[in-house]
Structure 1
Amino acid sequence: MALMDRAEWRHFQGIARRFVVALLFLVTHHLPAHADVGARLQDLLTRDAVQIFGVAYTPEPLREAYAARGYAPVFVDETGPVKRAMELIRVLSESSGDGLVPQDYLGNLPENWMDADPAEIEFALSDAFRRYGRDISGGRTTAAISEPDIVIGRKTFDLGFWLERAAIVGPEAIVAELRPRHQQYDRLRHMLLGYRALAARGGWPVISAGATLKPDMVDPRVAELRANMSARGYNGLNDTPDATVYDAAVARAVSHFQERNGLENDAVVGPQSLAALNMPAEERVNQIVVNMERWRWLAPDLGGRHILVNQANFKLQLVENGKIVDERRVIVGKAFHKSPMFSDKIRYLEFNPTWTVPHSIAGNEMLPKLRRDPGYLERNDYKIYTSWEADAPAMSAHSVNWSNVTSSRFPFKIVQQPGALNALGRVKFMFPNAFDVYLHDTPSRGLFARADRALSHGCIRVQDPIDFAEMLLKADRGIGPAEISAILESKQTTRVDLKTPLAVHLTYFTVWVSDEGVPAFYNDVYERDALVARVFFGSV
């Protein structure tokens, strides 16, 4: 998890400095010409494999782009490197500002690389440019990272297009075009700079282990708590005659910290809050880098009007033209029933829905209840059918010897009828997908008050969903509250199509920066940060 050490950083700074000196020399001296660089480059690119600077390369990723250019170089001429090469070196050297690793792109260049055959320089630099462009625009990792519940296709990087752009405007000018333009990505870049500086200064003091700290307590560890929070930028905590007293100022700071870190907002420093307060600054740096990577996975345009569900902070946002116009709490899947990550479009709403119980829930969760009490189904408005065939007749749960039924051999279909007890509540927001997940209401509305809301089987439960449905349908179809109330009162399952399907993005961000520039760090409830961190930082 270590950041780039000083020796490595000096190495890359040295490459840049040496190139500046060489460029000045090129400007003021005439060097002997090499052989036609285009022909030499073509020769390299038509081989199955080449070795440049002692590194084996496969030319295939570069071949088509350069063939389309007639093998015209971008970063060299017949005499050697040109200005665009210097720009590229500078861009790659500064890639750590985007959470990337300069060594990934510059590590193959020896100290004397500028003295090499210009065609080999062109090849090595263009390959570094290709890998950098792919990483900064689409991610250094693939979105799935071995998780089948993450379905985000990796973006393609059009090397030919971007080489042409680099040839026209230079590598530095196109960095902003390659980099994600999402507001949160830009905020995270600035936050990364600040937290790296904070980590370099030693971060924040550790609070010793001990009893839970509560308001009005007197404890020597309260002084450590004050120092810890002061290092984070909380002001006014040292203006006290007795630093060991847990006073109102400390309570307000702790409460604010808890709120923006997804913790129970009670101003009590128990085990979870203590762990968050003692998280090293270096780990927060890495957490920021991981979340920047996730923004690179997403499409450049999420939609002028879209829904973004952040599973890590249990919230849903309705965004219009870059502005959050609505935000509400959600309940997501448990750690062993993770909500998936993907993008789709809500195509219709269904009021007074039925719920067809999935095989897994019927066999694993309902079967024990039915063995104890077959009347459970009728009391909770379920109907049971002899099979999953469309014309299967309904039956009585009392007619089955449930002790002979197993979870693996459960042939019956169970359907919960519309009503107050229905697990999906009164409305669901549908975007048909392979996971069979969607947004929906719930009869268990008290669960929204909890801080940790990873409680479902994978679907997303939405707080105040009727209000949310009214908001969507009024904008899309001009349907108002009275019409929706009439549909609900009918008790009939009713589908209402959206005229314009609405983009929905099921995401997972454990760092979020507010409009005021304040970062919130959330628990990695699905351990997805750890998977990405292993790629970036090794073992975690």
Structure 2
Amino acid sequence: MTTTQNTQALRWTLVLLAACVAMLIFAFSASSDVTPELPQPVAKKYYKLWFKNNTPPPSIQDELKWWPDLKKIYQKNGYNPIWLDGFKLNRSGELLRTLIWETISDGQQFSGYHYEIIESKLNQANHHPRELTVLDLILTDAFLNFTKDSLSGKLTPDRDDAAHSNLSKVKIKNQLQIQRLDVLAVLEGYTNHDNIGEFLQNLSPQHQGYLQMRATLARYLRLSIEHPWLPIPQGPTLSLGQRHEQVFLIRKRLILLGDLDQILPQEPKVSTQQSFSYNSSYPSTKDKNTIDAKLQAIEAELVKIDPLQHSVYLYDYEIQQAVKTFQSRHNLAVNGNIDKKTRQLLNIPIKQRAKQLALNMKRWRHLPPNLGDRYIFVNMANFDLAYIERGIKLASMKVIIGKPYRRTPIMSGKIDTVVINPYWNVPYRIAVKDILPKLKKNSNYLRSHHLEVLPNWNNDSSPIDTTDIDWNLQSSRNFKYRFRQPPGPNNSLGNVKFLFPNDYAIYLHDTPKRNLFSESQRTLSSGCIRVEKPIQLATLLLNSQNGWHQQAIETRISNRKNTHIRLKDPVPVYLMYWTAWVSKDGNVHFRDDFYDRDEIPTSTAAIETSKHRHAINI
């Protein structure tokens, strides 16, 4: 970013902050939903005292960053509390508290949100008017800090992404950032509303996926406080029908995670000193209503001899199905057994998963409020693509994304062109970093890989004879040629390419290497996204354009004619990286962070290692 751009960005930030303060003054002065029971003379006494003497309350004077603006806000509001109804938070206060809480839950450092102070004051403020007025002040300061960070894009992760080791950092250009340039108009619209809660709501994403994650995050954080996450020790593979002492802990873990719908069991306390004896008063098996009671009594006697005979230690059908659900949510082989990998993921502390959820919630900030009537979602962490139309998923397919050292960036755009039988113009970085070294070792490399050479990048260039070119004299400093593959079965882009304007030469395309889609971790490309079902995707994108049905597309492919088809209505495409999300059925899913974008350890070993690199605390 240039100095001029930095200056302009700073100027806009200052302007929007001033507008935010003005909006806050206006909204609070007109607010009708705040009906505090806190004695007004008491609250006013403290506010007037602090602002008249220009002396903040001693307990928070070092924390307040907006003291001059606070004076204007409370003066305009008649020195009344803003976030309180009586001795508790009003709806806007509770929402602000929630937004702050979920923002800091990923362990990243955000100053000025005062969460610990807010919680402390809430615990102390019961029927203490002075503490309540202090609480209201610190909440207003937190609101201004949160608003500033939200509108400036600070809360959006992955903004500076070193996508390729040999390229400068990728600057994410998403629609939320662009909207900042018009933020004054947005804020002006909110000053017509009495309820500041509506403004607060719009400072966070309102997509259904985000709201589902909010509820899940609350549950995970509650679990991290209420239940110790004891590690399940290493042990043998456990499967249906086996009895083992670990089954009790596994059963409890699956219940807490929501994979097993049972009441939390109590570990039985039995004495192994008692001997087994048959009681003749057991119910008769002739009475069908008492068979269960008889079996339970027999089990109780068996447990006296062998505690593992208790049902909580039996790897039964319900546990097997719950394990399968857990494995599916974590993209493991679904075999229903407690193997090494399943045990490892069961042992990831719930607090670490909560941090992962909180961070991935922030990634929704890359998206515009309205995704479009039809759009394409690519979740790189799950290696999948979904085509959505009017809220319905019409197609899903596997994808291949960039290698870890050539990461596909998080970005968005609009697909405006479908290319049938594309040429592949080899990007400069691939030409000089990958192909040129191989060409120097093997003079037949171009022929064996069906590559032709053009003298430059002009549109009217034609292939040239390479006989007189000494490739050993070529390097990244003087390389001027263009390598190109013509359409055909050996073209690296396959039969179809999908273009959307962007600064990184990223696009979606077919591939002749169909076998790669069977790989589990498909970080195999140089940055572009290879799609599993290109003809289906092309058919969906072109379904509103006369003549371009599936048969017509396949016919054009077969004649090998290079064809560009412009879409009448470009379709948004969102390249996202969610290592955690909640599906429509309410299940939370987790994936490996192979791009190291999360910076949150998700294995016991990684957690121990991370303690030496950085501390993450909720």
2:145 equivalent to 1:149:
no
Aligned residue identity for 2:409: P
Q: Quick one: distance in 2 between partners of 1:115 and 1:341?
A: 47
Query: If the length of structure 2 is used for normalisation, what is the TM-score?
Result: 0.68
2:24 equivalent to 1:24:
no
Q: Are the counterparts in 1 of residues 83 and 136 from structure 2 also a CA contact under 8 Å? A: no
Alignment of 1:212-251 (within 5 A): 225-235=250-260
2:523 aligned partner? 454
2:108 aligned partner? none
Q: Quick one: distance in 1 between partners of 2:115 and 2:243?
A: 55
2:71 equivalent to 1:95:
no
Shift of residue 433, structure 1, vs aligned partner: 1.1
Aligned residue identity for 1:196: L
Q: Which one is further off, 499-508 or 477-486? A: 477-486
Residues 1:539 and 1:467: Cα distance change in structure 2 (over 3 Å): same
2:449 aligned partner? 380
Residues 1:172 and 1:387: Cα distance change in structure 2 (over 3 Å): closer
1:130 aligned partner? 144
2:572 equivalent to 1:503:
yes
Deviations 1:256-293, CA, capped at 9 Å, x for gaps:
32332133445565554443221111111111111111
Aligned residue identity for 1:234: D
Q: Are the counterparts in 2 of residues 385 and 412 from structure 1 also a CA contact under 8 Å? A: yes
Residues 1:430 and 1:74: Cα distance change in structure 2 (over 3 Å): farther
2:561 equivalent to 1:492:
yes
Q: Quick one: distance in 1 between partners of 2:241 and 2:49?
A: 80
Q: Are the counterparts in 2 of residues 305 and 502 from structure 1 also a CA contact under 8 Å? A: yes
Quick one: which of 399, 403, 427 aligns to 1:330?
Answer: 399
Aligned residue identity for 1:286: K
Deviations 1:185-218, CA, capped at 9 Å, x for gaps:
1110111122122222326552323566678988
Q: Are the counterparts in 1 of residues 64 and 141 from structure 2 also a CA contact under 8 Å? A: no
SS, match of residue 405 in structure 2: coil
Residues 1:96 and 1:323: Cα distance change in structure 2 (over 3 Å): farther
Q: Are the counterparts in 2 of residues 262 and 523 from structure 1 also a CA contact under 8 Å? A: no
Quick one: which of 53, 56, 60 aligns to 2:61?
Answer: 53
1:288 aligned partner? 357
2:113 equivalent to 1:104:
yes
1:187 aligned partner? 212
Q: Are the counterparts in 1 of residues 112 and 142 from structure 2 also a CA contact under 8 Å? A: no
Q: Are the counterparts in 1 of residues 260 and 318 from structure 2 also a CA contact under 8 Å? A: no
Residues 1:264 and 1:440: Cα distance change in structure 2 (over 3 Å): farther
SS, match of residue 302 in structure 1: coil
Shift of residue 463, structure 1, vs aligned partner: 1.1
Deviations 1:427-480, CA, capped at 9 Å, x for gaps:
011002111011111111122222211211111111111111111111355621
Stretches of structure 2 that go unaligned for 5 or more consecutive residues are: 1-34, 55-59, 106-110, 162-168, 266-298, 300-307, 603-609
Q: Which one is further off, 480-489 or 305-314? A: 480-489
Shift of residue 314, structure 1, vs aligned partner: 1.0
Deviations 1:112-170, CA, capped at 9 Å, x for gaps:
99769x9x999866543233345567765244453233513536495896698578533
Q: Are the counterparts in 2 of residues 91 and 171 from structure 1 also a CA contact under 8 Å? A: no
Aligned residue identity for 1:191: T
Q: Quick one: distance in 2 between partners of 1:350 and 1:400?
A: 32
Q: Which protein has the larger Cα radius of gyration, Structure 1 or Structure 2?
A: 2
Residues 1:221 and 1:363: Cα distance change in structure 2 (over 3 Å): farther
Q: Quick one: distance in 1 between partners of 2:594 and 2:442?
A: 35
Deviations 1:411-441, CA, capped at 9 Å, x for gaps:
4321011111111110011002111011111
SS, match of residue 131 in structure 1: helix
Q: Which one is further off, 141-150 or 302-311? A: 141-150
Q: Quick one: distance in 1 between partners of 2:116 and 2:230?
A: 36
Q: Are the counterparts in 2 of residues 149 and 339 from structure 1 also a CA contact under 8 Å? A: no
SS, match of residue 543 in structure 2: helix
Aligned residue identity for 2:355: N
Residues 1:248 and 1:441: Cα distance change in structure 2 (over 3 Å): farther
Stretches of structure 1 that go unaligned for 5 or more consecutive residues are: 1-21, 45-51
Q: Are the counterparts in 2 of residues 290 and 532 from structure 1 also a CA contact under 8 Å? A: no
Q: Quick one: distance in 1 between partners of 2:367 and 2:149?
A: 13
2:594 aligned partner? 525
Quick one: which of 207, 216, 221 aligns to 2:232?
Answer: 207
1:81 aligned partner? 81
Q: Quick one: distance in 1 between partners of 2:542 and 2:467?
A: 43
Aligned residue identity for 2:144: R
Shift of residue 183, structure 1, vs aligned partner: 0.8
Aligned residue identity for 2:78: D
Q: Quick one: distance in 2 between partners of 1:322 and 1:512?
A: 17
Q: Quick one: distance in 2 between partners of 1:224 and 1:243?
A: 9
Q: Which one is further off, 238-247 or 124-133? A: 238-247
1:18 aligned partner? none
Q: Which one is further off, 391-400 or 449-458? A: 391-400
Deviations 1:203-251, CA, capped at 9 Å, x for gaps:
6552323566678988765665455434423338999968888777655
Aligned residue identity for 2:113: D
2:386 equivalent to 1:317:
yes
Shift of residue 317, structure 1, vs aligned partner: 1.4
Q: Quick one: distance in 2 between partners of 1:74 and 1:389?
A: 66
Q: Which one is further off, 258-267 or 298-307? A: 258-267
Give aligned pairs, total.
498
SS, match of residue 555 in structure 2: helix
Residues 1:516 and 1:464: Cα distance change in structure 2 (over 3 Å): same
Residues 1:512 and 1:31: Cα distance change in structure 2 (over 3 Å): closer
Deviations 1:298-320, CA, capped at 9 Å, x for gaps:
21111121111111111111222
Aligned residue identity for 1:193: A
CA RMSD of aligned residues (A): 4.5
Q: Are the counterparts in 2 of residues 354 and 422 from structure 1 also a CA contact under 8 Å? A: yes
SS, match of residue 489 in structure 2: coil
Residues 1:280 and 1:336: Cα distance change in structure 2 (over 3 Å): same
Aligned residue identity for 1:92: L
Q: Which one is further off, 466-475 or 389-398? A: 389-398
2:269 equivalent to 1:261:
no
Q: Quick one: distance in 2 between partners of 1:523 and 1:128?
A: 34
Deviations 1:82-108, CA, capped at 9 Å, x for gaps:
576853544433435644479714667
Identity %: 28
Shift of residue 351, structure 1, vs aligned partner: 0.6
1:47 aligned partner? none
Q: Quick one: distance in 2 between partners of 1:247 and 1:396?
A: 71
Q: Which one is further off, 150-159 or 232-241? A: 232-241
Q: Are the counterparts in 1 of residues 360 and 579 from structure 2 also a CA contact under 8 Å? A: yes
